[in-house]
Chains A and B, each alone.
Chain A
């Protein structure tokens, strides 16, 4: 009897594995193997066409002396440190406004979300025109307001703010997630707080903020990872006429991922690019873990 049960269980396990095998095989071939291969390539000098040549930690040591690497890292840190809080603040403010029951509310929500569904390449080129110092609407608006009109894409000081502007344009996705979180905050909590004499600001800090904090944590992690890997927006904004690898004046728009791409596919330094990918992975992991550890202080998990 026991033997038979064992056989049935074994058959079920095999059947389960058989059904899961398309994913497992796909995972092994398209994810696990490339990840393991990139770890090996990061220790080699590899140009894609000739056998990899083992160089130990040479690629990692090279990063320490590569000025462009540090420039790309600094740019990415700048974008992350400024972009993540700014994106969170804007999306949260937007969600709080959209949460008010006003006429035409669904339309406003749709309008806020609309930029998110515009293909990023289209919006990238659109923004290049908007930021044109000669004909662009942004500088035209600034001119009307008697404000300085920056050379967004031609001044090293304004390259990163330009990238942030384009990235923050799609903050509607985060807004919608916050909106859903706000909808889930129980009404009774607001009523109780109001009965205790709490005003709008106190209600936000003592009811709304703690109750949406798990969603905020999710948004922080997701947007931090997105900024650390930012590629398309600066790549499109910095693109030159001849479609060469450009990163704006003084490499001011060179993100880490762009430099990784240049090394891999323009200079064919696959080993160095693999090492950069691993450094990015480790940095992303470290940042994510530190956010999660720090989250215990401010994320309300509902048990307290």
Chain B
């Protein structure tokens, strides 16, 4: 009898401890701080210096508040982010994602629609760059707000240009082809020692070139994959003809395999192994700290000579903020979102990270004057030829399939026509809503 009583005591205690721990764990997010303020957890994917800059802005927000305390958590793990959002009660109230992921998540009911908050607080969404704002919407509702945007321009090595006798950056695709040939060097055994045009990220380079040739990757309606658009094929064909066919897929692959890490001291553009790249506005912040001696400049991405109306074409990507549907403090999270995406918060954030502001009213701001050559990226956001990939339920799989197809052109195993046709065939099975 005594033993049985003993056992019952142990079991009861164990259950009580377990329940206590579980309750404590569940209660660790979304609660109220001891000061009575609502505690908003901001889980962000940024790390390192970017996270440090963000923490400074969070501290500023907290100072200005007597109702909300934001706690920042650097968590660069997409899977963890998804896992948290799949539970009935999440571990964070606000987080960030890339613009072309909005549609996919919105279609799955992961994101809180922001329309009512935007209306109630009279947030002027008309000030956001239109291409970025389009990515924030799915089926007529707004699910995210952009905190920063990025566009892509042509960076070139001035020293290599001078050595090759090129006095100005290329303005047309025809000029670009000529300059690639002049800037590519091959040794006696046929090995490439310098490449005229590199591609820090094949997917971004190719899709940007597609826009520069007048193509679209999501059809005229902006919601249907169109990989086999003739201009897209022309863009991939341009890269193939001027680099892969000319110097050999195996030689190019061997050369690119020896490139150092992106944006490190061994980055091929920083070391002069690559004379031109199509890349984003973070480079003006990175280059002076990583390789201050690099003589470089930036120009608009060239356009086909026969289509001067395509001058200044670029691709835009966006960093966004969203509130998951399982957030505990949605209204408070939106208050913080409003602060971060407001003019002052956004300027501080984008300046610290070397990103472009998503607000058109900030494009002429002096805030960014100290970043060298930043104005090219900033001002080009005003160009009507700014394009962005759609944020649809299919976007993730589409990007993945395009990356595989581009790779097959680069390794010489497929023609651009065949590669894009295979993506188009696969796209017929993408989710529609």
Q: Which chain A residues have a beta carbon within 8 Å of chain B's beta carbons?
A: 47-50, 62, 65-68, 132-135, 151, 153-156, 240-242, 244-247, 249-251, 262, 265-268
Contact = CB atoms under 8 A, between A and B. Distances in A.
B97 to A, nearest CB: 14
Contact of A156 (B109, B413, B426): B413
B400 A49 contact: no
Contact of A267 (B86, B261, B397, B403): B397
Contacts of A249: 407-408, 411, 413
- Main secondary structure, interface of A, reads loop
Given A265-B79, A266-B396, A49 B110 contact: yes
A33 B217 CA distance: 43
B108 A133 contact: no
Contact of A155 (B82, B104, B253, B258): B253
Contacts of B411: 154-156, 249-250
Nearest to B425: A67
A267 B78 CA distance: 12
B307 interface: no
A245 B400 contact: yes
Nearest to A135: B258
Contacts of A47: 108
27 contacts: A49-B110, A50-B109, A66-B429, A132-B258, A133-B253, A133-B254, A133-B258, A134-B254, A134-B255, A134-B257, A134-B258, A135-B258, A151-B254, A154-B254, A154-B256, A154-B257, A154-B411, A156-B413, A240-B403, A241-B200, A241-B261, A244-B399, A244-B400, A249-B408, A249-B413, A250-B404, A250-B408
Contacts of B408: 156, 249-250
A68 B253 CA distance: 24
Contact of A250 (B110, B250, B407, B426): B407
Interface residues of B, number: 31
Contacts of A246: 403-404
B106 to A, nearest CB: 11
Interface string B123-139: 00000000000000000
Contacts of B254: 133-134, 151, 154
B85 interface: yes
A89 B251 CA distance: 36
A266 to B, nearest CB: 6
A50 B262 contact: no
> Which are the 5 A-B pairs with shortest beta-carbon distances?
A134-B258, A154-B253, A49-B108, A133-B254, A249-B411
Contacts of B258: 132-135
B115 interface: no
Contacts of A242: 201
A265 B86 CA distance: 12
A48 B257 contact: no
A64 to B, nearest CB: 12
A49 B107 CA distance: 10
A281 B108 CA distance: 29
A245 B396 CA distance: 10
A65 B425 CA distance: 11
A48 B82 contact: yes
B250 A151 contact: yes
Contacts of B110: 49
Contacts of B86: 48-49
Given A49-B110, A132-B257, A155-B411, A266 B400 contact: yes
**For A49, A153, A266, which residue has the most chain B Cβ atoms within 10 angstroms?**
A49
Contacts of A135: 258
A165 to B, nearest CB: 16
A49 B109 CA distance: 7
A238 to B, nearest CB: 10
Given A49-B110, A154-B254, 4 more contacts: A154-B256, A240-B403, A244-B399, A249-B411
A268 B261 CA distance: 30
B253 A50 contact: no
B403 A244 contact: yes
Contacts of A262: 400
A242 B262 CA distance: 10
Contacts of B108: 47-50, 268
B1 to A, nearest CB: 13
A67 B422 CA distance: 10
Contacts of A134: 254-255, 257-258
Nearest to B255: A134
Nearest to A128: B257
A265 B85 CA distance: 13
Interface in B73-112: 79, 82, 85-86, 104, 108-110
A133 B82 contact: no
Nearest to B408: A250
Nearest to B397: A267
A241 B403 contact: no
B256 to A, nearest CB: 8
Contacts of A247: 404
Contacts of B255: 134
A194 B200 CA distance: 66
A284 to B, nearest CB: 25
A77 to B, nearest CB: 20
Given A49-B108, A49-B109, A267-B397, A241 B262 contact: yes
Contacts of B262: 241
A96 B370 CA distance: 69
A204 to B, nearest CB: 43
Nearest to B259: A134
A250 B400 contact: no
A203 to B, nearest CB: 48
